[in-house]
């Protein structure tokens, strides 16, 4: 998002100290004066619950909920290295790319890709980066969905390594994001993991409400059965399906590098050869 985001858009310490506590109490008391709804999960009938709700004292006219603050996503079409200096032994970096705007039809293949490629100890990334090469303390990769419709999916590839192994780790991750290793055995294990997770999951109690709200926020039909849809699609998938997704989404993506480490231990000559380097201070990141 750049300098203006939900993370940085906060009250300063001085602003916080200047707030009158009563102002905060009044804000809470005023919640019910805005347009809202109710969710009920329990044994009582709809008729009984409605009768109870009618007893609540409500304002004659409810106020509109204030519009949500919009933070514009950056295009991320020019790979950049974002570096933050921090006194630490290891170096942590992330290869981050912006994918397409969220599309629910991609959920099954994204779920399967995440399981096969980057999530968990049996994944391709973990096995290649840590187990086979010994380059990292930990490593993972996945496609991350946004929290509401109209926003983009992001491809996240994280490695925590020693500073002197940073270059080799980045080069290996770049290779893994260009050529996907194929293993029918790993794919079969990942597929069974996804299916068993869905088989053992149940949508009950307040999760019914939160799933409904997720579907509304994401612009998905409220009758959309997410787990059923993912299960039925994953059940039919094979390794070429993951390769197709990789070739159309992962391989052509433009990756920026987010890096945290001790300045004196980082090879900046290497970083400058692969992309523009932007030094971001901790004050810019956190506001203090």
The parts of the chain modelled with pLDDT lower than 70 are: none
118, burial (CB in 10 Å: exposed 0-12, middle 13-18, buried 19+): buried
184-199 helix and 226-235 helix, angle to the nearest 10 degrees: 150
On the 0-12 / 13-18 / 19+ scale of CB atoms within 10 A, 162 is middle
Residue 153 backbone dihedrals phi, psi, to 5 degrees: -75, 150
pTM: 0.92
Question: For residues 275 and 83, what is the distance between their CA atoms, to the nearest angstrom?
Answer: 12
d(CA 257, CA 240): 29
Q: What is the DSSP letter of 278?
A: E
pLDDT score of 162: 94
- 65-101 burial, b at 16+ Cβ within 10 Å, e below that, comes to eeeeeeeebeebeebbbbbbbeeeebbbbbbbbbbee
**What integer pLDDT is reported at residue 131 of this predicted model?**
85
Q: Distance (Å, rounded) from C-alpha 32 to C-alpha 44?
A: 24
Element (H, E) at 95: strand 90-101
pLDDT at residue 97, as a whole number: 98
Q: Of 288, 286, 256, which is closest to residue 5 (Cα–Cα)?
A: 286
Q: Pinpoint the alpha helices (H) of 30-106.
A: 46-53
The predicted pLDDT at position 187 comes to 96
pLDDT recorded at residue 223: 87
Residue 178's CB is within 10 A of a number of other CB atoms, namely: 11
- Compute the distance between CA of residue 165 and CA of residue 56 in angstroms, rounded to an integer: 63
Q: What is the DSSP-derived secondary structure letter of residue 252?
A: T
Residue 166's pLDDT is: 96
Q: What is the pLDDT of residue 12?
A: 86
N-terminal to C-terminal alpha carbon distance within the chain: 19
């Amino acid at each position: 998002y750049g300098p203006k985001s939900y993370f940085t858009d906060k009250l300063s310490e001085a602003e916080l100290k200047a707030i009158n506590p009563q102002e905060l109490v009044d804000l809470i008391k005023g919640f019910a004066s805005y347009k809202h709804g109710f969710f009920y999960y329990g044994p009582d009938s709809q008729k009984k619950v409605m009768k109870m709700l009618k007893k609540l004292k409500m304002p004659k006219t409810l106020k509109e909920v204030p519009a949500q603050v919009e933070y514009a996503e950056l295009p991320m079409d020019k790979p950049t290295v974002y570096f933050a200096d921090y006194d630490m032994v290891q170096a942590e970096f992330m290869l981050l790319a912006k994918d397409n705007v969220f599309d629910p039809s991609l959920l099954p293949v994204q779920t399967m890709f995440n399981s096969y490629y980057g999530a968990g100890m049996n994944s391709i990334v973990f096995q290649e980066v840590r187990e086979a090469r010994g380059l990292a303390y930990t490593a993972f990769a996945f496609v991350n969905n946004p929290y509401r419709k109209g926003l983009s999916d992001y491809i996240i590839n994280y490695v925590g390594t020693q500073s002197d192994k940073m270059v080799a780790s980045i080069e290996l991750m770049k290779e893994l994001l260009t050529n996907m290793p194929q293993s029918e055995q790993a794919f079969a294990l990942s597929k069974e993991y996804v299916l068993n997770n869905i088989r053992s999951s149940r949508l009950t109690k307040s999760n019914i409400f939160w799933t409904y709200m997720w579907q509304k926020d994401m612009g998905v039909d409220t009758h959309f059965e997410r787990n059923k849809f993912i299960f039925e699609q994953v059940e039919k998938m094979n390794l070429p399906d993951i390769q197709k997704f990789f070739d159309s989404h992962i391989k052509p993506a433009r990756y920026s590098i987010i890096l945290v480490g001790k300045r004196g231990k980082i090879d900046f000559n290497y970083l400058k050869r692969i992309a523009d380097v932007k030094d971001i201070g901790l004050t810019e990141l956190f506001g203090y």
